[in-house]
Structure 1
Amino acid sequence: MASVSSTSSSTSDLLSSAYSTSTTSSSSSTSSTSATTDPSDIDWSALVEASVQAKLSKADTIDLKITANQAKISAYEQLQSLLDDLSDAADALRAVSGTSNSSTDVFLNRAAYLSANGDVDAASSLSATVEDGTDVGSYDIQVLQLAKAHKIASSVVASSSEDLGYSGVISLGTESGSSVELTVTESMSLADLAEAINDQSGTTGVQATVLKVSSSQYQLILSTSETGETISASTVSGDDVLTSLGITDSTGALANVLQESQDAIVTLDGITATRSTNDIDDLLDGVTLHLYQTTQSDPDTESDVSITIEIGADVSSAKTAIQALVDAYNAFRDFVTTQQTLSSDGTASDDAVLFGDGTMRSTTLSVYSALTRTVGENSMALIGLSFDSDGTLVLDEDTLDDALLDDLDSVKALLSFQMGASSSDLMLLARGTNVPNPFTLDVTVDASGALSSASVNGDSSLFTVKGTRIVGAAGTAYEGYSFVYTGSSSKSIDVSLSTGIAELLYNTSSDASDSSDGTLQTLIDNLEATDTTLQTKSDAIRSAAETYRTNLTNRYARYQAAISAAESTQDYLTALLDQ
C-alpha cells in the first residue's frame, strides 16, 4: 500500500482514525484482503467545527464579561436617573432669594389671598396673578368703577343678506388710535359690511357684529376692541352711508350709543388710580389685578366695603414640591431594595445586579443621613415626614399643612440653604457645597466708593473682587461662594451660613448623578472603556477562528483527496495481486 505523508501530528492522528488497512498472506498462495474507510463516511464539518469552537471558547468567556458589564451599566444608569430625579426635587426646596438658583426656589412662588371687608364677594369682584419673587405684603382695594368698551348700533334693517344699495367711503377707528377708510358698494349687505369692518379691526380697534333682533330685524353693532376707547366714525365721500344706516345723525354725531366707554377706577390703600383696562398690571410691582365688578352697591357705604389682598408664599406649590421629594426618594429606595434582594439559596437574585456595590451603598447612606439631619431643633418630623416599618418615606399632609401655614420660616430653615448677614448691603449670588463657619467679612471701598477688597481676619487672598462681586478663592472654605456688595462705604459684616435637608440631598444626589463628572458616570465610563477593550479582543479571537476555519477546511479537503488517491492505488495493487 502506498504511504501518505503528514505535515503534522494532528494530520497523522486524523488519518489513523479516518483510514486504516490490513493485509494478510500465506506461504502457499498469495492473497490480500483490505478494509478501507470511505472518506465520505467521515463528518469532516463536525471535525472542523469542534476545532474552531475550542478556539472560540475564549471569546465566549469574554462576551459573558461584556454582557455582565452591560447589565451593570444599565443598572448604574437607572440609579443615575433616579438620583437625578431626587436632585431635581431637592433643588426646588433648597434655594434662597438672591442666589443664582433663585428661579427654582419654590419658596419664592407667590399667590394672592383675598378676603372681604364688608358686604362684598371678594372672588366675584377681582382676582390677582402674582409673579414669583414679588415682595410680600397686604393691601386694601376698592373697585369703584369698571372699564367698559364703547358700543353703538345702527338702525334696524329687514335683512342681513340683501344689498344695502349704498355707495360711498367711510372712515372708522378710535379717537386715540388709527382710522381706516372703507369703501362701501351698492351690492354689499349688512353682513358684508360687518366682514369688511372686522378685516380692519386690528388697525382700527373697532369690531362689528350683526345682531338678529327678529326674523325681519337686524342691527349692526360696533364696539371697541379695548375698554376705555371711543369710536370715531365719519363719511368721507359718496352716499352718507353712516347716516343712512342710523349710526350717525345729520350732524355727524353718533346716533345710537348702547354703552359709553369708561376707565376703571380703583383705590389702593386709599389712593385713587384710573386705568383704561380691567386688567391692571402696573399698580403693584409683580401683581396683575383682574377686575370683575365694583365692590359697593350703595355709595353711602363705599368706605366700609373693600377687599384685602395679601401677597404671600404659594404654600400649595411648596406642598407639591415636598410630595415630589417624597416620591423621588421612595423610587430611589425601591431600586436600592431590589438590588439587595437574595434568592432562595441565599445568593444575590438575578435582578440584584448591583448587590454589594460600594458606590450605591455609600450614596444610600448619604441620602439617608441627609433626610435624618437635624437643623437647629427641627427634623423632618416638622413637615410630617417619617419612615414606616419597611423604610418607605411617608408624608402626613395635615402636619405639613399646619407647618406651611403657621411656621413657614421654620420649614424654609429646615429644608433650604440660609444666609444671615448683619448688613442688607451684602447679598448671596451663588454658593459652594461646603458651609464655612460664621465669619466677619471686612469690605473696603476706595475714595470713589468702588469696592476694592474683601477679607476675613485680615486675609484678603480668600476672595477676589470683580466690580461689585466678591468671589471666594479656589481651594479655600469660600470656594464656590459669590456675594454682591451694594454699599458705598467700608464695612464689617457678620455672615452666617447654614444648610438644610434639601440642600444636603441635592449635593449628595447631584454629586453621584452628574452626567459629566459624577461618581456613577465615572463608573459607567470605566465599564464602557473596559467593554470596548474586551470587544476588541473578542472580535480578534473570532476573526482568527474564522481564518482557522478556512485553513482547516482547505487542509481537510487535501486530506480527503490524499486518502482517495491512496485507496485508488490500493485498489489497483490489489487487482494486480489477484491476477
Structure 2
Amino acid sequence: MSNIISSLGGGSGIDTTGLVSGLTAAERAPKEALLNTRQEKLESQISGYGLLKSALSEFQGVLSPLANVDTFSARSVAFPDTDVITPNSLEAGAQTGSYQIEVQSVASAQTLVMGATNDKNAALGGSGTLSIQFGTWSYDNTDPDNPVATTFATNGDKAALNIDVEASDSLADIADKINAGDSGIQASVMKVDDQYQLMLTAPSGESNALMITGTDDATGTDPTLLSGFSFNETTQSALETQQGSDAVLQVNGLTVRRETNTIDDVIEGFNFTVNKASASETINFSVDEDKVVAEQAIRDFVDAYNLFLETANNLTGYSKDENNNTVRGELASDGTAKSMVRQLRSMIGAEVTGIESGFTALTNLGIRTELDGTLSIEESEFSDAMSNNFDLVADLFAQKTSSTNGYVEVGIGTRASSTVPGSYDVEITQDPEKGKLAAGAITHDFGAGVLDASGGGYSFKLNVNGTLSSEITLNGQYASAEELRADLQSLINGNDALKAVNAAVDVTLEGGQFVITSREYGSSSKVTINNQSAQMDELGLGTGSTMTATEGKDVQGTINGEAGFGAGEVLLPALGSDAYGLNLSVAPGATAQGAFTIGFSRGEGGTLNNLIDRFLASDGAIARREDTIDEQMEKIDTDREELDRRMEKYEARLSAQFLAMERIISSLNSTGSSLDGLIDRLPFTAKK
C-alpha cells in the first residue's frame, strides 16, 4: 500500500493521496458517526443505571427500619441518678409501666480454696477424678463467725462437672481443665504466704454453690491427693472463704430473688445491674412507649421516596437544567427502567397484601399521593393515627406473622423472600413428642432411712438420642426421692459424652417412679439405659425393673391442604408452596385446637424492600439489562473492527484506481513529448 500511495500524483501532479484519504474519510464518517451515537447512548444508559441503583439503595436503606417491628416497639426510660442500680439496656418491646425497686442484698459467689503447693507448675503426683456438682448448702450458724456447711441439695438444672486428673498434672493444669469445662466455674492459682493454692469461684447465687468429691485411684506419688480437694457433706478439706447468695429485691412491693446481680428478667426487656444493697433507698422510674422513633422513620420514608422519585423521573423522562433548557434523561427510552419505576409507584399506592383489616394502605394514616406521584402527609390525620391507632400503623409498615392457635408460633425463614403474603389454613394432625424412659417403681423406702450411694455401687450408662454416655455413678447420700432425682439429672447432663453432642434430659418423679425425658423432640429422640449395676433395681432402673421406653415423634400437619414436613417440633410448608419460607414451631396440645389459620404480611416496608431486592439482585432486572448493554457495547467494538477492515479495503481500491489513472496520464505525457516537433520534421512541410 505504501508503494502505491507513494506513486500517486507522480504523473498528474494532482494530490491524489489527499484525495484518496478524503474520499475514504467521507465514506467512513456516516457509519462511524452512527457507531459513536450508539456508543454514547449505551454509555449514557450505563451511567443512568448506576444512578438508578444508587437511588434505589438509598431508598432501601430507609425502608429497613420500617420493616422492623422493633421500630414500632421502641421504649424510653426515665431513670434517676443513683449508684445502687446501673441501667444497662432497654430493648424494643420492654414492659411499660412505673416501677419501684429496693435492693435488700446483692448476689455473691461461693469461693473455695484448696491444694497448697510451693510450685504451681510442679506435678502433684496424684490421679483420679474431681466430681463437682452445683446446688444449695445449708449451714449450721451456731457460731456466726464460723458457719459450717452441713447438707447439700443438688441443683438438677445445672450439669455436673467431672475432671480427670493425672499424676503429671500441676495445680495450674487442674485450673486449666476446670476452666475448659465451660461450667461457669472460674479456677485460678493464687499465691498466699509463699504457697500457691487453687481458688474456685462458683457462678453467683445460692443454688450455684459447689460440692466437690475428690476420688483418688491410689496411684502416683500422692495416692490421697484429691481427697484433699473435697468439699462435701462428709469431707471438707477445702476452705470456704465466701458463701453463695442471691440478690434480693423488692419490686413494686414483691420480693424477687435472682442468682446474679445483672438482671434482665424482672422487668421484661430492661437489663440492669445491682451494685449494692440499700434497703433505705427506693429507686423510682418508668418505662414508656417511644413513638417518636416510628414517626421519624415514617417521615424519613416519605422524604426518601420523594427524593428517589425525583431522581427516577429525571433519568427516565425530561427535566429542566439551570438555564431552563429541556434535558433528556439517560434512560428516557429504556423500557426496563421505566417499568421498574412504574412498579414501585404502583406498589406505593396499593393495599398491602396480607393485611385483611385495619390500615391496609398509606392513605389510611394520612399519607397522600399527589398528581406528580410524590407523597405528602396530611398532618391532622397522621397525628390521629399515631395517637389512637399506633398498633395498626405498625401492622401496616412492619413484617408480621400471626396464629390463631396458641400452641403454634409462626417464624420467618431464610426463604421468606418468595413467600406469598396472606392467610393459610392449618391443621396439626400429630403433636411433637420427646423420647422418654419410664422407670419401674422405686423400691427403696426413704422413710426408713437414706439411700447411701457413697460407696459407688449405683452405676449405669444412658443412651440419649443415639449417643451412649460413659459410666454414670451416684456417690451421695439421699434422704428423699427428690434429692435423688435432682442428682440423677445433674450427673446425666454433666456426662462428657452427652455434653459433646448437646444431648440432655429432664428427670421427673411421676407416680413413685422416675421418668427420664430427652430435651429434643422428634423421631430421633429416645432414651434407653444400659450396663446397670444390680443396685439400680432399687431405683426402678435395674435389669430386673419393668421399664417402658417411648420414642419421640415429629410433628405432622397440613398447610392449605398440603402435607408439611415435620422435623421435631418444627413444621415446614411443602417445598414450592405459597407458604414456603415460613416455619411453624408447634408445642404439644396443638392438635386439640383443631383447624386454625396463620397469617403473614411483609408490611409496606418489607414489601417495598423485597421488590427492590429483586431489582438489585445479581440476576435481577437491572443486572440483566446491564448485561444486555454490555453485549451491545461489545457488538459496537466488533462493528468498529469490521468498519476498519472495510475502509482499509476501500482505501486500497481507490488507491489502485488512482494509480491506474496516473499510469495512463504518465503514458499520455510520454506520448505527447514524443510528438513535440514531429510536424516540423514531416516532409513537404515548411516554416515561416
Under TM normalisation by the shorter chain, which class is it? 0.5 to 0.7
Give the Å deviation of 1:358: 4.6
Match of 1:421 among 398, 403, 412: 403
Partner residue, 2:249 = 267
| Conserved? CA contact 2:565–2:571, under 8 Å | yes
Q: Deviations over 1:493-534 (max 9, x none)?
A: 2334455332432344334x2322333333333333233233
> Quick one: which of 420, 423, 426 aligns to 1:434?
420
* Counterpart-to-counterpart distance in 1, 2:12 and 2:56: 70
CA positional deviation for 1:287? 4.3
2:18 to 45, 64, 72: 45
1:289 paired residue number:
272
Task: Specify the SS of the correspondent of 1:350.
Answer: strand
- Please state which structure has a larger fraction of its residues in helix: 1
Distance 1:394 1:124, change over 3 A: farther
2:71 aligned partner: 107
Matching of residue 354 in structure 1 with residue 331 in structure 2: yes
Q: Amino acid of the residue matched to residue 89 of structure 1?
A: V
Larger RCO: 1 or 2 (CA < 8 Å, sep 6+):
1
- Rg bigger for which structure? 1
State the alpha-carbon separation in 2 of the partners of residues 393 and 568 from structure 1.
85
Aligned with residue 634 of structure 2, among 532, 549, 553: 532
Contact 1:425 1:487 in 2 (8 A): yes
Shift of 1:275: 7.7
What does 1:473-488 align with in structure 2 at a 5 Å threshold? 473=574, 476-487=577-588
Unpaired segments of 5 or more residues in structure 1?
1-10, 20-35, 95-103, 149-173, 182-231, 238-262
Whether the 8 Å contact between 1:426 and 1:484 is mirrored in structure 2 is yes
Deviation at 1:74, TM superposition (A): 2.8
Give 2:272's aligned amino acid.
L
Give 1:330's match in structure 2, choosing from 306, 309, 312.
Answer: 306
1:380 counterpart (350, 362, 367) = 362
* TM-score of the two chains, using structure 1 as the length reference: 0.57
What CA deviation, in whole Å up to 9, does each residue of 1:557-578 have, x standing for no partner?
8558736853773475256748
Q: Which is worse superposed, 407-416 or 481-490?
A: 481-490
CA deviation after TM superposition for structure 1 residue 289, in Å: 1.4
**Map of 1:175-574 to 2, 5 A cutoff?**
236=194, 267=249, 269=251, 270-271=254-255, 287-290=270-273, 299=280, 302=281, 305-310=282-287, 315-338=291-314, 339-341=316-318, 349-355=326-332, 358-373=335-350, 376-378=357-359, 379-380=361-362, 385-387=367-369, 391-395=373-377, 407-430=389-412, 431=416, 432-436=418-422, 438-445=423-430, 448-456=552-560, 459-460=561-562, 463-473=564-574, 476-487=577-588, 490=591, 491-498=594-601, 500-511=603-614, 513-546=615-648, 548-549=650-651, 551-552=652-653, 555=656, 558-559=659-660, 562=663, 565-566=666-667, 569-570=670-671, 572-574=673-675
**1:262-294 deviation per Cα after TM superposition (whole angstroms, max 9, x unaligned):** x996625233557887x6568777643156888
Aligned pair in 2 of structure 1 residues 425, 73: CA closer, same or farther (>3 Å)? farther
Shift of 1:179: 13
1:107–1:313 contact (8 Å) kept in structure 2: no
Mapped contact 1:63–1:535 kept (Cα < 8 A):
no
Structure-2 residue corresponding to 1:83: 56
Q: Tell me whether 476-485 or 285-294 shows the greater mean CA deviation.
A: 285-294
Query: Taking structure 2 as the reference length, what is the TM-score of the superposition?
Result: 0.50
**Percent identical:** 17
The equivalent of 1:71 in structure 2 is 44
For the 8 Å contact 2:106–2:276, the answer to whether it is kept is yes
Q: Which residue of 1 aligns with 2:178?
A: none
Q: Which residue matches 2:138?
A: none
CA distance in structure 2 between the partners assigned to 1:295 and 1:548 by the alignment: 101
Distance in 2 of aligned mates of 1:106 and 1:64 = 52
- Label 1:114 to 1:406 Cα distance change in 2 as closer, same or farther (>3 A): farther
The answer as to whether partners of 1:112 and 1:129 remain within 8 angstroms in 2 is no
The letter for the 1-side match of 2:555 is L
C-alpha change, 1:534 and 1:472, in structure 2 (3 Å) is farther
Contact 1:131 1:286 in 2 (8 A): yes
Query: 2 CA distance for matches of 1:470 and 1:264?
Result: 40
Q: 1:489 to 1:572 in 2, by over 3 A?
A: same
